[in-house]
Amino acid sequence: MGNYRIAVLPGDGIGKEVTKGAVEVLKAIETRFGHHFEFAYGWIGGAAVDQKGTPLPEETLALCRESDAVLLGAVGGPKWDQHPPHLRPERGLLQIRKEMNLFANLRPVKFYDSLTDSSPLKQEVIQGVDLVIVRELTGGLYFGKPSGRMVENGEEKAVDTLLYKKEEIKRIVKVAFELARKRKKKVTSVDKANVLSSSRMWREIAEEVAQEFPDVTLEHMLVDNAAMQLIRSPQQFDVVVTENMFGDILSDEASMLTGSLGMLPSASLSASGPSLYEPIHGSAPDIAGQNKANPIAAILSAAMMLRLSFGLSKEAEAVEKAVQQVLAAGLRTADIAQKGQRVVSTDEMVNEIKTAILDHQTISHIMAVYA
Ligand code: IPM
Ligand code: MG
């Protein structure tokens, strides 16, 4: 039985609803397994701009640093779209990733039998898909300098820079290899080495790291081809490792293999200190506040937290099993519902998942008493 302090940063839009759901599920885990979770809330994103005048207040960062792990919802919304760059909600997210050194973003994509019909792709294509995108999260095109707008000789210009230091590539590729070693032992390193210098260096370093992992196969794939292969034959992938922006794009694409962006969790692991867990989806302003959002990505992110930050595998499995159970029982939020299927609200989905976690307790308790 353990005590854990979790910083909760709901953020904007549906971020608030889905983190609330994930916290409730964590409370069910507390009850069933006898742990103690302390939840401490902080502002981030547009909500933080409104409340504190900055998308990542110092106190939020301090709270996260003092916690054992961070659970984040989503940031952004039309309300802040016209703000200058330093007052945009997304800036808060990028800053927290950088400040906390969250360089390794793991985005697992797993096929659910019961959601076969929710994916726009054919069953034979998505059957058995089980891959992880390892996205570099604190470098590359999102952070390289120079970045910004300027006027030169009367001409308006804008620039972003894709820059990596050798060590940054090495450590993310290592994470991919270590992960692959525990899985199907295959790493696909995705780059654009036919055009970009940074990709050519990435490829060399991936080859170097591969020497330390003779039991793992390394293959290189150009990012345009990878985008196509993810749709053509996604079963070929085990661990995909790639640059920040390539990973952003490919992970949204890959989410459709499961049926919905609302299904994909992620873990952002730190080089030093607490890790952060967040659904890969955004704040979905169009459905925010309507109790319609799919909370599963946030709930599965909480499961990743249990496993990766707290070493609570049994507890993580209990969450994942409960999700599987309610999906198999036909529960569907709007994003994963087929025509004619009954659609449940965020709250209903959360409640059923909680019940699935807690009911088991009753049964195992009875079994223990009568054993
Ligand atoms: C993600 C999101 C973010 C990103 C946005 C909100 C800044 O799309 O986590 O994938 O681009 O990293
Ligand atoms: Mg994204």
- pLDDT one-digit tens code per residue, 249-264: 999 999 999 989 999 9
290 plus 177 within the same structural domain: no
Structure tokens at 131: 């891959």
Q: Residue for token digits 């198999």?
A: 328
In a domain, 113, yes or no: no
Same domain, 245 and 140: yes
Residue located nearest, by CA, to atom 4 of ligand 1: 248
- Cβ 90 under 6 angstroms from ligand 1: yes
Q: Both 40 and 152 in a single domain? A: no
What is the rounded average pLDDT of the residues 109-133?
93
* Residues facing 70 on adjacent strands: 7, 276
pLDDT of residue 233: 97
| Residue owning the nearest CA to atom 5 of ligand 1 | 90
Residues 34 and 152 in one domain: no
Same domain, 220 and 341: no
Q: What is the 3-state secondary structure (H, E, C) of 160-220?
A: EECCCCHHHHHHHHHHHHHHHHCCCCEEEEEECCCCCHHHHHHHHHHHHHHCCCCCCEEEE
For residue 97, give the CATH number of its domain. Answer: 3.40.718.10
**Do 97 and 196 fall within a single domain?**
no
Which carries the bigger pLDDT value, residue 1 or residue 264? 264
Angle CA(162)–CA(166)–CA(170) in degrees, nearest 5? 110
Same domain for 270 and 365, yes or no, is: yes
Looking at the structure, do residues 319 and 355 belong to the same domain, yes or no?
A: yes
Q: Same domain, yes or no, for 131 and 243?
A: yes
List 164, 192, 335, 354, catalytic entry: 192
| CB within 8 Å of 352: residues ≥ 6 apart | 326, 329, 331, 344
Question: Does a structural domain hold residue 115?
Answer: no
Mean pLDDT of 114-129: 93
Q: What is the mean pLDDT of residues 150-167?
A: 98
Q: Is residue 114 part of a domain?
A: no
Given the residues 112, 248, 277, 354, the one annotated as active site: 248
Do residues 13 and 85 both lie within one domain?
yes
Pick the last residue of a domain from 240, 257, 274. Answer: 257
Whether residues 74 and 102 share a domain: the answer is: yes
Q: Is the beta carbon of 74 within 6 A of some atom in ligand 1?
A: no
Question: How high is the pLDDT of residue 361?
Answer: 58
Domain final residue, candidates 209, 240, 257? 257
Q: Which atom of ligand 1 is nearest to the CA of 93?
A: 7
> Which atom of ligand 1 has the smallest separation from the CA of 251?
10
The domain of 349 spans 1-108+260-370
Does residue 108 line the site of ligand 1, with CB under 6 A?
A: no
Residues 84, 144 within the same domain: no
**Distance, CA of 178 to chain centre:** 19
Q: Is residue 153 part of a domain?
A: yes
- Domain boundary, last residue among 257, 281, 310: 257
> What pLDDT, on the 0 to 100 scale, is given for residue 84?
95
**Annotated catalytic residue 164:** no
Let me know if residue 342 belongs to a domain.
Answer: yes
Q: For ligand 1, say whether the CB of 295 is within 6 Å of any of its atoms.
A: no
Residue with the smallest CA separation from ligand 1 atom 11 is: 248
Domain assignment present for residue 172? The answer is yes
Is the predicted pLDDT of residue 364 greater than 90, yes or no? no
Q: Nearest ligand, CA of residue 284?
A: 1
For a substitution probing ligand 1, which of 81, 88, 93 has the most ligand atoms within 8 Å of its CB?
93
**Tens-place pLDDT, residues 182-192:** 999 999 999 99
**What are the start-end ranges of the H helices in the chain?**
14-33, 45-52, 58-66, 89-99, 123-126, 166-181, 197-210, 223-232, 244-255, 296-308, 313-328, 346-370
Checking if the pLDDT of 166 tops 80, the result is yes
Number of structural domains in the chain: 2
What is the band of 118 on the pLDDT scale with cuts at 50, 70, 90?
confident
Tokens matching residue 50: 């409104």
